[in-house]
Amino acid sequence: MKTKIYQTPSHPDANLKQYILGYTVSVLFTLSAFFLVKNTVFTRNVLEYVVASLAISQFIIQIVFFLHLFNERNPRFRLLVFLLMLAIVLILVVGSLWIMANLNHNMTLPSQIRYMNNQGGGF
Amino acid sequence: MLYFASFFLGKLNRHAIPTDMVTLGAAVSIVLGLIFGAILITYFHKWKYLWKEWLTSVDHKKIGIMYIIVAVLMLIRGGVDALMLRGQQATSVGVHHGYLSSSTFAQVFSAHGTIMIFFAAMGLMFGIINLVLPLQIGSRDVAFPFMNLTSFWLFVAGMVLVNVSLGIGDFSAAGWLAYPPLSELRYSPTVGVDYWIWSLEIAGIGSLLSGVNFFTTILKTRAPGMSLTKMPMFAWSVLCTTSLIIFAFPILTVTLTLLYLDRTMGMHFFTAAAGGNMMMYVNLIWAWGHPEVYILILPAFGIFSEIVATFSHKRLFGYRTMVGALVSITVLSFTVWLHHFFTMGAGADVNGFFGIMTMVIAIPTGVKIFNWLFTMYKGRIKFSQSMLWFFGFVGLFTVGGVAGVILAMPPADFQLHNSLFLVAHFHTMIVGGVLFGYFAGLSYWFPKIFGYKLNEKLGRISFYLWFSGFLLAFVPLYILGLLGATRRIDHYSASLGWQPLFIIAGLGVLVIASGVFMMIIQHLVSFINRDKLKDKTGDPWNGKTLEWSVSSPAPFYNFASIPVVHSRDFYWDIKNIIKHEPKEITDVLMPKNSNHAPIIGFISILFGFSMVWHIWWLSLVSLLLIIIVIFNRFNDENPNYLLRAEEIIEIEQSHLRLKES
């Protein structure tokens, strides 16, 4: 009789097929982005949106096939933590952009902006 | 020759030894203390015992005790810093310039802040979580016992680096958060800021690992039947704290790395010139720094929730609102960071938004205060020392919190920013809130860890000294701040008339120091009378959570058989309502002690030291060594051993005999 309490974490819902499928689809998305840029199928304006949406769909594919966020059993801690992560990253990124734009707007003299742009940086 | 020296030793040379008497004296006394300790250990032949039973132990209770020992030592070191600061401020007025030079003073306040937050408060926090959490949720250990010990050793490595800076080189003089451009190479050319960066980097990685560890422990190793809504409130607070750690500490690591790149590689993330933006540092460091203060206070809230309910002999009032308050504080604490730099140029709408969010976060905190008060309402309150800390906390925390809401108003903040009013505010929160909470927790859980209770009378005296000393030390600072005294001031004109208030504040620190002294006496006296104070039952306070169902001190395997939980205050219910049949005792797999973790800690010290002094070959070698040690550990086929059921039964029966005697 032995109670095993220190198991290596296993993912019963993860199998090799899913990983291969996810990998293939990801590669396809990346390659098609390359293809679209190289062969100028769309105008530049449309192209930007298409590439961005390809990137986002690849992001979702990876969440589904690699992180298995949507097929875990209840309670869905992974999904919950992921959503919290998204919320916090959004708060921090949007908040920082807002704050920094505000600070730059209020605290930088035109002469400083010119100076910084001359230095190769600036905004 | 010179070339070889700079290759082997980097920036290190004989000028690294400090010449000023105060620093040198401190360094020498620390070295002498270490030598004295080593002699004592050798004399009693305890090296092997120390290494085998403590330094390499993966038992969460022992790790917790080691955390607390280190944290208390750092609390004393930080306290001595505080005494030095107030001593300078009380004497350095008009024609007198005190006994500290401006640069030493700046190093001392930087060290005080860094040490108190990272090594005293965080150490006590991880210590208490380690001691209590697995027992409270009915688990045999944390989810990753080896990682737990590694976290502890990384924490120690960071602590050692801060203290090494006393004797070799100097410490940061740029304040506890080292804002650029002051912390950039141009204005802080010595290695002080690098010491600060690397001690926090290493300790911060330890904290992050601990955060992941306890988060997983709570989600994965709770006793069967203990759903999240049946979990004790302390465990809830740890769940919230660890999720804050997981999301906040990476920001710190990245920000410090960028600052180090600025200083070492000549990059321009935060410099004033070449397109750098120092406000980005302030923005990032507070995006970590504000959650950090909630990381410290949430476990204290959890501790008080346990103590108030236990000593009022009532169930906790408003369990669901308590959980709701904890979770909303967790999320909201990421939305207020700008209030640390209202005055640094943001417009009215930005300041307005973050001011309002800061006031909003006070609401769930207020909810918690009322819940504790309602828990006490009509309860049979036992005025134990743990409860005294709670009463002190309620008063101070409310005053400090209201001061915080005042500071949350941007117009008021423009007056009070960087003043001693602010210093008084956050000390009220961190001493009156965090520290009082941890002290309450330590006196409450002490018998569970050491098997005997602490002397009540001396504990009370210590509390009264702390409480009155705190008021003496910080009420003058509120007044001084309103009078216009800025923080980190090392000299002021006699005509301002501030000296009497500074002297009172200094006396207050002395009273607090006597409170610390009384605590030491209390532990000595309790240790001498440990037979009389022995906790035979394992349940000295009529506790309601699982940790009180095992013997005191808790056996190393925690639970002979893992209990099946049916209700929220399960242990009360076992004692009073339901009959509980323990399961059959079986063999248990336990984690073996590990030499790897302390070795990783030692090499991390070398790594940090070499990064500080630009000894690149040593950095590479030590990094490589750390990777080798980790791989070596991963290749360990048998990290666990089998603990026989007979052995457990024997220990349990000796506890039963003690209980009946």
Angle subtended at Cα B36 by Cα B31 and Cα B40, rounded to the nearest 5 degrees: 150
Residue entry with tokens 């026989």: B644
Alpha-carbon distance B589 to nearest alpha carbon in chain A (angstroms) = 6
For B291, name the nearest residue in chain A, comparing CA atoms only: A88
* Burial tier of A20 (Cβ tally within 10 Å: 0-12, 13-18, 19+): exposed
What mean pLDDT, rounded, does chain A reach?
79
CB B67 within 8 A of CB B214: no
Strand-pairing partners, residue B590, are B641
pLDDT beyond 60 at A123: no
CATH of the domain at B373: 1.20.210.10
Cis ω for the linkage preceding B181 (within 30 of 0): yes
DSSP state of B343: G
Is 90 exceeded by the pLDDT of residue A12?
no
Omega prior to A75 cis, within 30 of 0? yes
For residue B1, the model assigns a pLDDT of 59
pLDDT for B2 equals 65
Identify the sign of the CA torsion A114, A116, A121, A122. Answer: negative
In whole angstroms, what is the distance from residue A70 CA to residue B378 CA? 48
Quick check: A5 pLDDT over 50? Answer: no
Any idea of the CA torsion for B323, B324, B327, B333, to the nearest 10 degrees? -130
Q: What range defines the domain where residue B283 resides?
A: 2-660
| pTM for the predicted model, two decimal places | 0.91
Query: So what's the pLDDT on residue B387?
Result: 96
CB-CB: which of A91, A116, A120 is closest to B335? A91
CA distance A75 to B408: 38
Task: Name the H helices within B417-560.
Answer: 420-427, 436-450, 456-483, 499-528
**Chain B interface residues facing chain A, Cβ-Cβ under 8 Å?**
140-141, 145, 219, 221, 228, 243, 247, 251, 268, 273-277, 279-280, 283-284, 287, 331, 334-335, 337-338, 344-347, 349-350, 586-589, 591, 639-640, 642, 645
Report pLDDT for A120. Answer: 59
pLDDT confidence of residue B14: 81
What pLDDT is recorded for position A116?
Answer: 67
Q: How many domains is chain B partitioned into structurally?
A: 1
- Give the pLDDT score at B78: 94
Q: Do B284 and A85 touch (CB under 8 A)?
A: no
Helices first, then strands: H and E counts in chain B: 22, 2
Q: Which residues of chain B have pLDDT under 50?
A: none
Residues with Cβ < 8 Å from B445, sequence gap 6 or more? B128, B131, B132, B547
User: pLDDT higher for B224 or A75?
Assistant: B224
Half-sphere exposure of A92 (CA within 13 A, CB side): 23
Instruction: Tell me which residue in B274, B279, B642 faces A121 most closely, judged by beta carbons.
Output: B274
Main-chain phi, psi angles of B534, to 5 degrees: -55, 140
CA B592, B593, B594, B597 dihedral sign is positive
Count the alpha carbons within 13 Å of B300 in the hemisphere toward its beta carbon.
27
The contacts of residue B149 (CB under 8 Å, 6+ apart) are B56, B57, B58, B63, B594, B597, B598
Question: Across the strands, what pairs with B640?
Answer: B591
CA distance A46 to chain B (A): 32
Model pLDDT, residue A18: 82
Q: Is the dihedral of CA B107, B109, B110, B116 positive or negative?
A: positive
